[in-house]
Every structure is written in structure tokens, then in C-alpha cells.
Chains A and B, each alone.
Chain A
Amino acid sequence: MKPAPFRYLRPGTVDDALDLLTEHGPQAKLLAGGQSLIPTMNFRLSQPAVLIDLNRLGELAGIEESRRGLMIGAMTRQRAAERSGAVRDRAPLLSEAMPFISHPQVRNRGTIGGSLAHADPAAELPALMVALDAEFLVRDRDHQRRIAAADFYTGLFATALAPDEMLLSVEVPKTPKRTGWAFEEISRRHGDYALVGVATTITLDRKGRCDGAHIVLLSVGDGPVAASQAVAGLAGEEPTADAIRQAAEVTATRDIDPPADIHASAAYRRQLARVLTTRALTRAVARAQGAEVSETGAR
């Protein structure tokens, strides 16, 4: 289990990195935290000819409060986001979910942008960003553009990034008023790939009716899967226990078409989606209603 040889390039600036990416094209892989890429290379299932190491791009690391909310640089270590007070204040859903991502040793090295661009269907961060209506700032040598998180994920390990584009940062908008959130996940062991996970937010209007919600699942499809029919069903409704149960049922039976693997059949995944969506929405609603929520997600 030793990686095959490759050419190693370590640009010092984003411009240099983009030049190298353009120059080497599909032969090259970007190396961020490496916590997904390097294992694959050790198995020799990935043998990129060129690795462009982004770890010296200090300009891409950091969390800043922005006018819209929170700007997180792509090379920000997951651990930094986990510990960040700004994230806790402005994107509490993200804060709540960070400990579910693998283990501390991996989060110390793994980056926010690396996970987002890798687009593993079992990863937490893509689902969280979709649930948070985040926007991705991406660039090639000549242009910069913004892509909504929901539009960023186009398929299995596939994103809207062009081959010569790089993810620079992600902007998470402020949580609207009267909004609750919750993240739930079940994995075989703490830190394993989720069997199913769900990120939810719900915003209530002054009368306590649903004025917008997100139910975004992971490990049930090609990428983050938004339960749009369930959300549509909640719109304008009072989020009673029945309404939540109904939304979870729609999520499990209509919004997702989960895959099977040795750890979970499709039917089991549907059941977990049903249960976790119920639990997450229940906690999110309680938060939106201003109730104390002590539980921090299923382990």
C-alpha cells in the first residue's frame, strides 16, 4: 500500500495554482487535506501523474464574517471550523455537525474546500452547505463566479467545477430569524461514513407556520439529496408532530432512492432517513420556536 510515483508541484499563490491546473489539465489532481485522496493513492486506485499541493495557499485558509454571513476559505482545516466561534454563532448547524466528520486527526488535516469539491455522496459538508443555502466562489485563470451549493453538485463525485476551475471559498448566509436547525446522522461506528445523515433547517413565520425549510440528506444518492417534496409539503403548515412525520415519510419514500451496500440495504436506508428526518425536524422546530434543545444529534 504505497502510492505510485507522481510529480509534485507546490504553488505559492492561487494564480500559480490555476496556471498549473490549466497546464497539466486532467492529469493533475489538487491536493488539499488529502484525507480522501491519499488513501486512494495508497491503495493505488488513484495514480495521478501530477499533484498540485494547495497547502501553501495561506490566502485560502481562514474564516471571516462577511456582510451576508460567513466566508470560509477552501483551505480552512475542518478542525478550525469546528473550533470557530464565528461558525458557532453564525452557522450553528455547521458547528453541530462538524464532530460527525471522521475523527479529530482527520479533521486536523482535512479541509472544508477539499471535502466540498471531492463531492463524496456520504460526506457531511456538501449536504450542510446545501441546507445552509451557501454559495461557492470558484475561479479559473480569467474568471471568478459564484455557484449556489444546490447547483454545485451535479452527480456522483461530480461538481459544476470546470476542469481548470478551483474552489476558493464558500459563503454561508446568516441564519434568518425564527429559524431552527438540526443535524442527525447514523453511522456504524463513530466517525464512519454515514449510513444516512440529514441536515435540516426550518424558518417559521410570525404565526408559527413553516416559512421555508431545508431537508438535505447524505448517503442516500449521488450527492447531497434535497427532499424537495417533503419541504413543499411543509410550506405554510404548522410544524406539528404529524406534519413532521408526514414530511419524514415523504422524504423516505418519495424524495430519495437510496443505494444499498454491505452495511445498509435500500430499505434500511429509507427507514433511517424516515427516523432521522423526524428527529432532526423535531429538534429544528423546537429551536425555531425558541425552545431549549439539549440533545446534539444521534451518535
Chain B
Amino acid sequence: MRELHAIQLTVNGVRHERSVEARLLLSDFLRQELELTGTHVGCEHGVCGACTVLVDGEAVRSCLMFAVQADGSEITTVEGLADGGAVPDLHPLQAAFRDAHALQCGFCTPGVLLTLIPFLEQNPDPDEQTIREALSGNLCRCTGYQSMVEAVRALAEGVGR
């Protein structure tokens, strides 16, 4: 039997205690242990950004962190964005994405949203180039990114008004 480590962490406001093998990636922990399958795994070498979650408020790639390292952390996943995780109560960024058709297959979308949320807190009114740079750590094969940029602009303009 392999060595297990007890960890406690808060995910989307819910406290969890688990025992995990040290090598368990945070992405696998969230998906398999907590069944929060909205966090997607696209490359497991830190390039595609699909697995991006917030750890203590900062966007990080959950495939490049071990679950044991998240002991004591606060994590936000895509399931934690809409109020109560419910479909009708979309987060404004989620609504902006829907309105701008900023997703197609939707696989990269959770990572994109979690990249943009802290970005928008720090840059409430970003220009197109800044948005593109912020998105450049998230790969999307469907949209060509343009509609994501439009979604962020629309949201920023709406908020600014």
C-alpha cells in the first residue's frame, strides 16, 4: 500500500477532507475524488490551460500541482462560478460567453473562464490586445478566440456603463 497524505481544502466554498497519494494530480483529485468534472484535462504538461482553476484566487494549471500541495487551500472550479452551480444563474462572464458564442465544443471553456476571472478583476476594462495576451495560455481549437475577446469586451463595456 502506498503512503497516503491527509489533506483538507475548500473547493467552491465546501470543505473537504481526503487522504491522497502524493502523486495524485490536483486535476485528477478534483475530477475523480470530488467528482467536479467541469475541470477538463487537455494535455497534462501545462500548455493547453483547460485544467485551469483558482488556487487561493490565482489561476493555476491543476495538472501541474499535486493534490497534496493544495492542502489548506481555497479552490474555485467552474462549478463554483454560477450561483449555486445552477444553470439559470450564470456568472456574468458565463452569460457574456453564451451571448457572444464564445464557446463551441466547450471543452476548453472552464479553463478559459477561470483564467479570465482574476484577469478581469485586475483589468476591468482591457483592450483587445491585452485580452488576447491574457488568453494566450489557453488553447482553443474551435472558436479562433475572436468571440471570446468579444465576450470579454462586451462584459467590460456593460460593467463600465
Contact A79/B58 with A8-B5, A35-B64 known, Cβ cut-off 8 Å? yes
* A104, B115: Cβ atoms closer than 8 Å: yes
* A42, B45: Cβ atoms closer than 8 Å: yes
> Considering the chains assembled together, what is the distance between the CA atoms of A10 and B44 in angstroms?
23
Number of A-B contacts (CB under 8 A): 83
Residue on B with the closest CB to A9?
A: B22
Which residues of A sit under 8 angstroms from B137, Cβ to Cβ?
102-106, 191
Most buried by B among A55, A106, A190, A191: A106
* A39, B64: Cβ atoms closer than 8 Å: yes
> Considering the chains assembled together, what is the distance between the CA atoms of A140 and B3 in angstroms?
29
Which residues of B sit under 8 angstroms from A3, Cβ to Cβ?
23, 25
* A5, B2: Cβ atoms closer than 8 Å: yes
> Considering the chains assembled together, what is the distance between the CA atoms of A55 and B72 in angstroms?
12
Which residues of B sit under 8 angstroms from A189, Cβ to Cβ?
136
Which residues of B sit under 8 angstroms from A102, Cβ to Cβ?
137
Size bracket, chain A contacts: 20 to 34
* A191, B5: Cβ atoms closer than 8 Å: no
Interface residues in A112-160 by Cβ distance below 8 A to B read none
* B45, A106: Cβ atoms closer than 8 Å: no
For residue B69, CB closer than 8 A to chain A, the reply is yes
Interface residues in B1-56 by Cβ distance below 8 A to A read 2-3, 5, 21-23, 25, 28, 44-46, 49, 52, 55
For residue B60, CB closer than 8 A to chain A, the reply is yes
Which residues of A sit under 8 angstroms from B58, Cβ to Cβ?
79, 108-109
* B23, A4: Cβ atoms closer than 8 Å: yes
* A42, B63: Cβ atoms closer than 8 Å: yes
> Considering the chains assembled together, what is the distance between the CA atoms of A6 and B69 in angstroms?
14
* B2, A190: Cβ atoms closer than 8 Å: no
- How many Å from the CB of A279 to the closest CB on chain B? 20
Which residues of A sit under 8 angstroms from B64, Cβ to Cβ?
34-35, 38-39, 106, 109
Which residues of B sit under 8 angstroms from A162, Cβ to Cβ?
none
> Considering the chains assembled together, what is the distance between the CA atoms of A79 and B134 in angstroms?
13
> Considering the chains assembled together, what is the distance between the CA atoms of A43 and B2 in angstroms?
21
Interface residues in B59-94 by Cβ distance below 8 A to A read 59-61, 63-66, 68-69
> Considering the chains assembled together, what is the distance between the CA atoms of A181 and B101 in angstroms?
43
Most buried by B among A35, A51, A104: A104
- How many Å from the CB of B21 to the closest CB on chain A? 7
* B45, A105: Cβ atoms closer than 8 Å: no
Residue on B with the closest CB to A103?
A: B137
- How many Å from the CB of A94 to the closest CB on chain B? 19
> Considering the chains assembled together, what is the distance between the CA atoms of A191 and B133 in angstroms?
9
Interface residues in A183-209 by Cβ distance below 8 A to B read 189-191
* A105, B69: Cβ atoms closer than 8 Å: no
Contact A105/B61 with A55-B69, A189-B136 known, Cβ cut-off 8 Å? yes
For residue B145, CB closer than 8 A to chain A, the reply is no
For residue A262, CB closer than 8 A to chain B, the reply is no
For residue A2, CB closer than 8 A to chain B, the reply is yes
For residue A53, CB closer than 8 A to chain B, the reply is yes
> Considering the chains assembled together, what is the distance between the CA atoms of A42 and B68 in angstroms?
16
* A34, B65: Cβ atoms closer than 8 Å: yes
Tell me which of B25, B45, B115, B134 contacts A43 (CB under 8 A). Answer: B45
Binding site for B on A (CB under 8 A): 1-8, 10, 34-35, 38-39, 42-43, 51, 53, 55, 79, 99, 102-106, 108-109, 189-191
Binding site for A on B (CB under 8 A): 2-3, 5, 21-23, 25, 28, 44-46, 49, 52, 55, 58-61, 63-66, 68-69, 115, 119, 133-134, 136-137
Q: List 29 A-B contacts (CB under 8 A).
A: A3-B25, A4-B23, A6-B22, A6-B23, A8-B66, A10-B68, A34-B64, A34-B65, A38-B46, A38-B63, A38-B65, A38-B66, A39-B44, A39-B45, A42-B44, A42-B63, A51-B22, A79-B58, A103-B137, A104-B59, A104-B115, A104-B119, A104-B137, A105-B52, A106-B64, A108-B58, A108-B59, A109-B64, A190-B133
